[in-house]
Amino acid sequence: MKNWLTIVIVFLSTWAYSQTIQLKPHSFSRNDLVNKHFIDYQIFTIDIKQFQTDLSKKTDNIYNVVLQSPTERQRLTLFEYDLFTPEFDGPWHSENGVIKSPKDKSLRTFRGAVKEDLNGMASLTVANNFLMVTMQRGNDLYILEPLPNEVNPNQEDLYILYKSGDVIQSGDPVVCGSNEFKKQQEELEKNPIRARNIPCVDVEIGLACDWGYVERHRGMGGAQNFMTAIMNYCQTNWDDDFQVQISFAISGFYIPADQASDIFDRAMSIMEHLNLLIGNASSILPPHDVATGWTTDYTSGIVGLAAGIGTVCLPSEQYNICSEYSMDFGCLRQLQSHELGHNFGCTHDGGGGTGGSGTIMAPTVNCSNNWSVMSRVQVYDFVNTATCLTPCGHLEPVPVPIFNAVPTLACVPGPVQFTDMSLYTTSWNWKFPGGVPATSTSPNPLVQYPNAGVYDVELEVKNPRCSTKVVKAKYIQMDPAPIVDFEADIQSLSVGFRNTTQYGFDFFWTFGDGQSSTEFEPVHDYKAEGDYTVTLRVTGDCGVRTLTKIIEVYYFPTSDFDADTIWGCAPKQIKFFDRSSDNVIRWDWRFPGGTPNFSILKNPVITYKNKGVYDVKLFSSGKRYTASSEKKLYITIDSAPVSKFDYDVMGATLQFNSKATYPKNHFWNFGDGNTSNEENPSHSFANGIYEVIYTVDNLCGTHTSKQTIVIGDRPVAGFKVQNQFGCAPYTVDFENLSSSAATNFEWTFPGGNPSTSTLRNPQVVYPVSGKYSVSLLAYNAAYRDSLTVQDYIDVKDYPVPVFKSTVKGFAATFDNTSKFGNTYHWDFGDGKTSTEEDPVHDYGVEGEFRVILTVENECGTKTIEKTIAVYLVPKVNFASDTTAGCKPLTIHFIDKSSSDVIEWNWQFENGNPATSTEQNPVVVFDKFGTFTVKLTVKNNNGANSNTKLKYIRIIEDVYCKYKRDPQDPNGGTENDQNGQGTSELFAAYQEMEIYPNPVRDNFTLIVPSLPVEVAQLSIVDFKGKLIHQQTIDALRSDISTTKLESGIYLAILQNGNTRTVQKISIMR
């Protein structure tokens, strides 16, 4: 058998108290005998005693039975009922007579349903060394029974599990042999009995078998058990299939103890078998309403025979014979129900003959499990007319509480639909702890559970006889929506998340840094410290929930540092390097003895100016925490030696005294070819001037000091200066080192000012760069001595920065014509620099840039700044000192173009000159009218032009005010060549010009001439309200309209009695 259980098992606490049948696979050979009868099957061994022990522990009547194999599981919900009458006894028949024996208490019968399919009926019969189970799943019937002797030659206690459809039937048709005795049927029709409308009847049934049946089932006990099991399973066809409940009860058995005592041994046909049962029933069976005799003799053709139709109430004909023609237990159940159906008044379905439908009462035995509508009516009608059958009445069965719920695992608040499956029940009392409602008397209540949890359910059922109840512990589990929670374990930048969420199965994390995960408990590495918003979205059976937490990802930094050296000579620059952990963002250094003595840089450079041994301390701060490290006596600074000495004179011998600091070695050069390594030597000199050189050294370097020593009375010329090098104009103070015998001095300073001197210590200025010799003559009345030093004074010039540039495209080429420069530094004004002498720089964009050139030499630095323009075409614009006036009007034009322009080309309509290539030309206009001016400019990249239409306005003579030229004998005006000017103001304005019009933020007002009196401009709206007013005292005025709203206004120019009006429109 394959996959006889195809459902997913959900373990509920109720089933922790189940009775389990352990099916242990057996290495039974799949021999030809088994394969002849079964297509597919499994063979097991079963510990029946253990199962019986488990059953005995139950205190109520509801049994949760589990069939468990190593790979599969099937659950049954069963109740126990007594299939035997109270008067039952167990006679065994032998050749020596009837042997009385008490009822076998180990023989127990159960009915119920398959747990996962409550519509699938189940039955179980158990006795010592016997077990038979039937399970209906959908259209499939599964049977677990002892392995038949025919296929079990070793007579082992083995059990076979198979599906009814996998039993191989005989090729010959098997049918029912009932001939539907018309006589009995006609008598029933002629003598109708008043229907009783009984809802339930008890039917006592006797069961008999022949010796062959006993042999097949391995003895009398096996025969009794097997007939009981078939009857138990057959009862499921009679429980609730009709409008009346028919409850069978076994009143007794006939089981021969041997062949000799078998009353059926001489039967040669199934009809003789039936007649032998009819003739001996009163002596071999206790009282009964109907009886079935089982045999193994007839396996084809007629395998079942009833004495007649509706014969339950006829003592001589209330019998039937059934042959165990098949190993299919389901087919045997149908055969017995079929023959009992005849006894209860059923005819064959399908019109008789060998045809018929797939029903229990079809003429052909077909293993069906369904009654036809006709059969249901026939049984109901018969039961209600059969006076021999006892109503259940005081024999009302004990009610059996059975129910299920859908679903048993649900989301708050449900609902849960409870369905009653109880037997023999007239009223219900439900209890739902935690449910709403908490109680109910409805057979199928609908309950909600507002809170999550696991809940018991209790059902008490009643009928007129009594009440029983069942409690399913922890039967309903209500899960809430996911309860989301998590904790973060922060280790440096690595964070492990512990997920404590309940009721979720799908997880989505976002960590606040753009990363995510679907792991249950992820570990995430952050790249930097900070506060991160972590979100966990959980999907469960009951919805989606999200929890957001802000986690603080900070950890204690570690502080450490080192330096490029820990020893040096003062002044010593030492670069310190931070070696702290990566999460440090602030540094606080302490450098006692250093300059500076603190720093907040990551890698500071500190100068130690004095000898000593110094500590260094660093405070390293992260975003949240601070750590420190200190290194005691970390930096050792030694000083370079400083040479210094004096001497004591003892005649021609001098005692030299070292005043050096930090010396290690001493070296004296006395200037006469003699030396010494002593610290404080003495030395004798001949007459003369000597330069004594004292050199000291240590690990930090060497230092030398010099002094000039004069020995004797003859004059000896000598001199020195503080610095032989300087920058023009360079002022030099000469120090006379001549011997004390010299009384007079003559200095010569070629190129100096003064060029000569007789002072002992003169001051000389060298105004021009160059190298200059110096001569000194020292003398007295008797002797003279001279000293000349060539190129003694070296004078340099300060640098002179000069450059020019050319632009092509976006690239500027710089031509450096600076003087006296050694190094150059360019700042191109766009954040880029260069130290080349003549750089080329690509700006990449248009614009104007301030270029700074810094030139440096020994004398210092000088800087020059220029603004260069980088345009693919030059920016062109111009202005003038005036745009309107009386002729002849001289106008100065001013170029406002970009600084990269190298050519200008002006055009002046009616101007003199009419064209110009000057940058800022002067032009005379001597004709009245308005004239256009155009300027075209070029740079190295291209050309551009700007044309200003009607830019110049020359006013007609009549509008100009003239005054006479006092030097003109003709009394003419300065503008009238003919001397015919006027001295009075022309009476009225002839015109007023406003442009642009419409106006946005400002407009230009031009009047032909301005009177001596000042004019007034008023702007009013169309309601006459004054909006703006100002004085006009020029021929051309710029008027602001930024405070005026959009609209139409009137501009009124008023002078005395003369007024000019023009409409203006302001649009924005």
CATH code where residue 521 lies: 2.60.40.10
CATH number of the domain at 21, please: 2.40.128
CATH number of the domain at 315, please: 3.40.390.10
Q: What whole-number distance in Å separates Cα of residue 31 and Cα of residue 43? A: 12
The model's confidence at residue 268, banded by pLDDT at 50, 70 and 90, is very high
Q: Is residue 95 part of a domain?
A: no
Across residues 774-794, what is the average pLDDT? 91
pLDDT score, position 840:
95
Q: What whole-number distance in Å separates Cα of residue 542 and Cα of residue 422? A: 32
pLDDT at 912 over 60: yes
**Are 889 and 950 in a shared domain?**
yes
pLDDT at 988 over 70: no
The model's confidence at residue 150, banded by pLDDT at 50, 70 and 90, is confident
Say if residues 406 and 416 touch (Cβ distance below 8 Å).
yes
pLDDT score, position 84:
83
pLDDT at 967 over 60: no
Say if residues 356 and 176 touch (Cβ distance below 8 Å).
no
Last residue of a domain, one of 711, 737, 762: 711
Q: Is the dihedral of CA 822, 827, 831, 834 positive or negative?
A: negative
pLDDT at 496 over 90: yes
Last residue of a domain, one of 657, 681, 711: 711
The candidate with the shortest Cα–Cα distance to 4, out of 159, 140, 167, 146, is: 140
**Are 61 and 126 in a shared domain?**
yes
Q: Mind listing the pLDDT tens digit for each residue in 393-414?
A: 545 566 788 899 999 999 999 9
**Which range, 255-259, 516-520, 738-742, has the best average confidence (pLDDT)?**
516-520
Residue percentage of the chain with pLDDT more than 70 = 87
- Retrieve residue 444's tokens: 């199928």
Q: Is residue 868 part of a domain?
A: no
pLDDT at 803 over 90: yes
pLDDT at 212 over 80: yes
pLDDT at 178 over 80: no
Across residues 276-280, what is the average pLDDT? 93
Residue percentage of the chain with pLDDT more than 90 = 50
The model's confidence at residue 839, banded by pLDDT at 50, 70 and 90, is very high
Residue with tokens 């408990």: 521
**Are 665 and 731 in a shared domain?**
no
Q: Is residue 446 part of a domain?
A: no
The model's confidence at residue 10, banded by pLDDT at 50, 70 and 90, is very low
Long-range contacts from 824-830, C-beta under 8 angstroms, 24+ separation: 824/853, 824/854, 824/855, 824/856, 825/853, 825/854, 825/856, 826/851, 826/852, 826/853, 826/854, 827/851, 827/852, 827/854, 829/868
pLDDT at 667 over 80: yes
pLDDT score, position 934:
96
Domain count, the chain: 9
pLDDT at 615 over 70: yes
> Residue 14's CB: how many other CB atoms inside 10 A?
20
- Count Cβ atoms within 10 A of the Cβ of residue 87 and give its class: 0-12 exposed, 13-18 middle, 19 or more buried: exposed
Q: Is the dihedral of CA 324, 330, 334, 337 positive or negative?
A: positive
pLDDT score, position 978:
36
Last residue of a domain, one of 390, 424, 449: 390
Predicted TM-score (pTM) of the model is: 0.41
pLDDT score, position 179:
52
Q: Mind listing the pLDDT tens digit for each residue in 618-657?
A: 999 998 999 999 999 999 999 989 999 999 988 789 999 9
Q: Is the dihedral of CA 460, 463, 467, 472 positive or negative?
A: negative
**Are 818 and 743 in a shared domain?**
no
Q: Is residue 316 part of a domain?
A: yes
- Which has more pLDDT, 713 or 134? 134
pLDDT at 965 over 50: no
Q: What whole-number distance in Å separates Cα of residue 62 and Cα of residue 461? A: 13
Q: How many residues are given for the chain? A: 1068
The candidate with the shortest Cα–Cα distance to 229, out of 127, 152, 98, is: 127
Q: What whole-number distance in Å separates Cα of residue 338 and Cα of residue 500? A: 62
Q: Is residue 423 part of a domain?
A: no
Domain that holds residue 249: 200-390
pLDDT score, position 112:
82
Q: How far is CA 221 from the centre of its chain?
A: 72
Say if residues 672 and 611 touch (Cβ distance below 8 Å).
no
Q: Mind listing the pLDDT tens digit for each residue in 19-37?
A: 888 888 887 656 666 777 7
Q: Is the dihedral of CA 362, 365, 370, 371 positive or negative?
A: positive
The candidate with the shortest Cα–Cα distance to 125, out of 60, 221, 42, 44, is: 221
pLDDT score, position 921:
96
Q: Is residue 1 part of a domain?
A: no
The candidate with the shortest Cα–Cα distance to 958, out of 985, 926, 994, 929, is: 985
- Retrieve residue 953's tokens: 């306005």
* Structure letter (DSSP) for residue 454: E
pLDDT at 671 over 60: yes
- Count Cβ atoms within 10 A of the Cβ of residue 961 and give its class: 0-12 exposed, 13-18 middle, 19 or more buried: middle
Across residues 374-388, what is the average pLDDT? 85
pLDDT score, position 1010:
57
- Count Cβ atoms within 10 A of the Cβ of residue 966 and give its class: 0-12 exposed, 13-18 middle, 19 or more buried: exposed
**Are 657 and 529 in a shared domain?**
no
Q: What whole-number distance in Å separates Cα of residue 686 and Cα of residue 672? A: 9
What separation in angstroms does the CA of 680 have from each of 146, 649, 692, 699, 708?
130, 14, 13, 21, 18
**Are 741 and 809 in a shared domain?**
no
Q: What whole-number distance in Å separates Cα of residue 1057 and Cα of residue 1062? A: 17
Q: Mind listing the pLDDT tens digit for each residue in 100-114?
A: 566 778 889 998 888
> Residue 22's CB: how many other CB atoms inside 10 A?
15
pLDDT score, position 457:
95
pLDDT score, position 732:
96
**Are 730 and 755 in a shared domain?**
yes
Any residues with CB less than 8 A from the CB of 1044 and at least 6 apart, and which? 1019, 1027, 1028, 1066
The model's confidence at residue 1035, banded by pLDDT at 50, 70 and 90, is confident
pLDDT score, position 219:
87
**Are 526 and 608 in a shared domain?**
no
Q: What whole-number distance in Å separates Cα of residue 974 and Cα of residue 133? A: 142
The model's confidence at residue 443, banded by pLDDT at 50, 70 and 90, is very high
Say if residues 401 and 418 touch (Cβ distance below 8 Å).
no
695 membership: H or E segment, kind and range? strand 688-698
**Are 71 and 162 in a shared domain?**
yes
- Count Cβ atoms within 10 A of the Cβ of residue 1056 and give its class: 0-12 exposed, 13-18 middle, 19 or more buried: exposed
Q: Is residue 407 part of a domain?
A: no
- Count Cβ atoms within 10 A of the Cβ of residue 288 and give its class: 0-12 exposed, 13-18 middle, 19 or more buried: buried
pLDDT score, position 12:
32
Across residues 274-293, what is the average pLDDT? 92
Q: How far is CA 378 from the centre of its chain?
A: 72
pLDDT score, position 94:
52
The model's confidence at residue 64, banded by pLDDT at 50, 70 and 90, is confident
Any residues with CB less than 8 A from the CB of 500 and at least 6 apart, and which? 485, 486, 487
**Are 221 and 340 in a shared domain?**
yes
pLDDT score, position 675:
95
For 483-547, give the DSSP string: B--EEEEEETTEEEEEE--BS--EEEEE-SSS-EE--SS-EEE-SS-EEEEEEEEEEETTEEEEE
**Are 20 and 108 in a shared domain?**
yes
pLDDT score, position 355:
40
**Are 818 and 925 in a shared domain?**
no
> Residue 843's CB: how many other CB atoms inside 10 A?
18
Secondary structure tally for the chain: helices H, strands E: 8, 81
For 800-812, give the DSSP string: B--EEEEEETTEE
Looking at residue 933, its amino acid is V
- Retrieve residue 289's tokens: 């309403």
Q: What whole-number distance in Å separates Cα of residue 839 and Cα of residue 832? A: 12
Q: Is residue 600 part of a domain?
A: yes
The candidate with the shortest Cα–Cα distance to 336, out of 287, 300, 308, 294, is: 294
> Starting at the edge strand that comes first in sequence, how are the strands of the sheet with 833-834 ordered?
833-834, 823-827, 847-857, 860-870
Residue with tokens 């099957």: 41
pLDDT at 167 over 90: no
- Which has more pLDDT, 683 or 387? 683
Q: Mean pLDDT in the chain?
A: 85
- Which has more pLDDT, 941 or 982? 941
The model's confidence at residue 180, banded by pLDDT at 50, 70 and 90, is very low
> Residue 565's CB: how many other CB atoms inside 10 A?
12
- Which has more pLDDT, 407 or 198? 407
pLDDT score, position 715:
85
Find the range with the poorest average confidence among 346-355, 528-537, 561-570, 748-757: 346-355
